[in-house]
Amino acid sequence: MNNQELEDWHDYQVESRREIVALLRQIGEKRQLIRMLVKGEADVCVTSILEVDPDTNTMVLDRSIEPAQNERILAAGKVRCETSLDKIRILFNAGELRPCQFEGQPALRADIAPSLIRLQRRECYRMETPVSNPVRAIIPLAPKMVADTGVSSGVFPLHDISCGGIAILDNKLQLGTTIGQAFPNSRIELPEIGPVTVTLQLRNSLEVSMLNNKSHQRLGMQFVDLSRGGMAAVQRYITKLERERNARLAGLA
């Protein structure tokens, strides 16, 4: 990661201090390993976050097991760090590095960066949707189902969403389980964003047992020919869910 890459990834920059603190704390709590680049790929130290202290605007990092490398880190004063969290790549700088003690052991203290980069493979990363206020997908039913029920479309709660597709719950078994079946003119109602109309294609079907011993039919649906505007709307909604989740985590911290 160099300065040019940071500039290229400006759109993925997080500048909310509350979000940054929440993300750093999650990285520490999940014991995610961090690659600390002292002088680029030629000098790399594997470390972890031991503590995040927003009151002093600092965090504590584990030291290198090599004394000589610790000297190089302190001499540099500022290093670049790379890690991942829930399949999302996180990049940030650690500046004003100085030695400290943490729980009786030598460690490194650094200032919390004013911004960080969060690079997400959105086509793979799925975000669970709220259970209390479910997102709805309105999907046209097959002609036979329409003839049997007199209903032209079904309303299905979303389980999760990504920019590649959605997972829905079909507990009344209205859509069947034929892999590859397409459902044109399906509509997803995204709260505070608006409706997205798209063709959905069934990619997988799974019976899921819940804690109350009830079973749910979970269908994985892929977007087909999603418009640029539709993709932008889905991305905005995923970002909204992420920010709400991080805000909750920050409030509980």
Residues 65-79 have pLDDT tens digits of: 888 999 999 999 889
Overall number of domains in the chain? 2
Phi-psi label, residue 121: left if phi above 0, alpha if psi -120 to 50, beta otherwise? beta
Closest CA to 37 of 4, 64, 10, 7: 64
CATH code of the domain covering residue 144 = 2.40.10.220
Q: Using an 8 Å Cβ cutoff, are 135 and 190 in contact?
A: yes
**Are 154 and 134 in the same domain?**
yes
**Strand partners for 194:** 190
Query: pLDDT tens digits for 138-159?
Result: 999 988 777 777 788 999 999 8
**Are 76 and 143 in the same domain?**
no
Domain boundary among 120, 154, 171: 120
Q: What is the pTM of this model?
A: 0.52
The parent domain of residue 22 ranges over: 3-120
**Are 83 and 152 in the same domain?**
no
Q: For residue 4, what pLDDT is reported?
A: 43
